[in-house]
Amino acid sequence: MEINKNYTRKSESFIVCLDDDSDFLNSLKLTLPMKFSNGRQYNILFRDNPFETLELLKELVDSHEEIALLMTDQMMPKMRGIDFLKEARKITPNSMKVLLTGHAGIDSAIIAINENLLDKYLTKPITDFDDLVFTLKRLINEFHLKNTVDAQQRIILELYEFSNSLNSYRVLEDILEHTVSFARRVLNCERISILLLEEGELIFKAGVGIPQDMKCRIRVPLGKNVAGRVLKNREPMLVKDINELPWLKEKINDEFRSFISVPVICAELGSFDVPLGVINVTNKVGNEAFSKQDLRTLFFIANTASIAINNQYNLKKLEKSYFDTVQALIMALEARDKYTKGHSLRVMEFSVGIANQLGLDQQTINLIKDAAILHDIGKIGIRDEVLLKAGRLDPDELIEIRKHPEISSNIVKSITSLQEVGTIVSQHHERYDGGGYPKGVKGELIHIGARIMAVADSYDAMTSNRPYRQALNLSDVLKELQKESGGQFDPMCVNAFLQCLSDERTKIMDLEMQMRKL
């Protein structure tokens, strides 16, 4: 059914009138549009066929239109008004429903009200159209009030659920993405961004509707532009129509129509408020302006997010402190044994070289760097007589020394953000053929970081003096690596390491040639 010819889409709600009495319907057509011309705009549709009207209602609902009120006559040849309202309730249950009936139909109308089929019945003939309009307006006001209350209740419930769900995230990026997704859905906006304060500048961290090339360029000094002022002054800004502020329109994107900018500030106990950043939302879908209720909603979202963001910052500080402590313990551990001094740093350098040769991404390389630094921390719990023994270890001592990968892993995994690092650490003595320890994992089931570290760790051990032997010469070390390729070591990692050594020797030879020319 074509419905767009009968109304314009500028109104907020629809009123649908159904009556098979053409004279009465014409009277409504002359009266209602004029009476509803002031204030909130309505599309008023007039129909004489109940079946076609039900189809119309379906089309309106499918188009996400709001139907505020249905008014129908009871006595129609094709369908009774009450039966029409029963069907209409399935399509648009929240619309206000009015039944026009003669005196003989009053009892049926009262029953229908009790069954929640209609909200009001009016007796025909209608002699006072002003009274009719007054009644319809009152019912429509009830409709909008109920919708407002329902919407606010939904938002309150959603905000409560948002607050609870945000606490379950343990990674800052996930917190920001969840906040963006939730705010965009609740506020129905086209564009949203979260900027966080770093060294005096607001930096883009998460958002939607922002061109990709702009994201890396968004840097707002504290106190500058809208976002910078909002955070510095700790005051939100609501602009319903950018055209009303010419001075501001000149400074911001031409695509902005309406926006809200809210500071993200965390109040810590016993200290001043901590300014963290800003949340900006722009252009409500459908060309509507943001309201004060939208501002209050975004303020709640910002306050909730601020707690989760600040918790992540504090967690990072604690983890860094813990990491620094562990590194200090490693230095103390290596100080116990002159033969292993600097071992962890060398393993890190070799591992990073292999990882780069293999073309691994930076995130994985960073994991490997941390794992290499921390891989032997578990030896802090190994007795000196075992750790520093000048001869071969007996079976019991061997069991004890082989506990250090899991001890190291347990220490590392106590840091939330280092779970994968802990896995690498626990596997760095596994063998590619499955004959390693502690769990006998084999092949590519061993983390790539652990396979890389196995080569780097063994190379450094073989080229360093030990209490029970002197360092091996480079030729013997290379032969051992090649012999164990596919056995102790991943062939791919061995080949990458040999290429690194070859490249390094080439650099040294080039340097020697340049020195000779001087």
DSSP per residue, 73-125: ES--SSS-HHHHHHHHHHH-TTSEEEEEE-GGGHHHHHHHHHTTS-SEEEESS
Please give the single-letter amino acid code of residue 313.
Y
Beta bridge partners of 41: none
* Same domain flag for 144 and 175: no
CATH of the domain at 385: 1.10.3210.10
Same-domain check for residues 477 and 352 = yes
In a domain, 242, yes or no: yes
Does the residue 330 lie in any domain? Answer: no
Asked if 35 and 124 sit in the same domain, the reply is: yes
The verdict on residue 464 lying in a domain is yes
Please report, for the domain that includes residue 59, its CATH number.
3.40.50.2300
One domain for residues 511 and 367: yes
The answer to whether the CB of 218 falls within 8 A of the CB of 193 is: yes
Domain count, the chain: 3
C-alpha closest to that of 113 among 85, 153, 148: 85
What is the CATH number for 271? 3.30.450.40
pTM of this structure: 0.57
For residue 82 the two structure tokens come to: 């009450």
CA 398 to chain centre: 48
On whether both 29 and 100 belong to a single domain, the answer is yes
- Has residue 5 been placed in a domain? no
Note whether 182 and 299 are same-domain residues.
yes
Residue 3: inside a domain: no
- The contacts of residue 57 (CB under 8 Å, 6+ apart) are 16, 67, 70, 88, 91, 92
Shared-domain flag, residues 246 and 303: yes
**Residues 207 and 86 grouped into a single domain:** no
Domain boundary among 284, 315, 346: 315
**Structural domain includes residue 58:** yes
Residue 1 placed within a domain: no
210 falls within a domain:
yes
Same domain, 352 and 243: no
Name the domain boundary from 282, 315, 348. 315
Range of the domain at 504: 337-517
- The residue count of the chain comes to 518
- Which pLDDT tens digits describe the chain residue by residue (518 residues)? 444 434 333 447 899 999 999 999 999 999 898 888 765 678 999 999 999 999 999 999 988 888 999 999 988 988 988 899 999 999 999 899 999 887 545 666 676 666 667 888 888 888 888 899 999 999 998 888 887 777 777 778 888 888 888 878 878 999 999 999 999 999 989 899 999 999 899 999 999 988 877 777 888 889 888 889 999 999 999 988 777 766 565 556 557 778 899 999 987 655 567 899 999 999 888 778 888 889 989 999 999 999 899 888 888 888 788 778 877 877 777 777 666 678 888 999 999 999 999 999 998 999 999 999 989 888 887 887 887 787 788 889 888 889 999 998 998 888 777 899 999 999 999 999 999 999 999 999 999 999 999 999 999 999 887 776 788 888 999 999 999 999 999 999 999 999 998 887 666 555 545 544 44
- Are residue 308 and residue 347 in the same domain, yes or no? no
Burial of 497 (0-12, 13-18, 19+ CB in 10 A): buried
Domain final position from 88, 121, 150: 150
Domain shared by 195 and 284, yes or no: yes
Could you count the other beta carbons within 10 Å of the beta carbon of residue 62? 9
- Say yes or no: 386 and 509 in one domain: yes
**In 3-state terms, the chain is what percent helix, strand and coil (to 5)?**
55, 15, 30
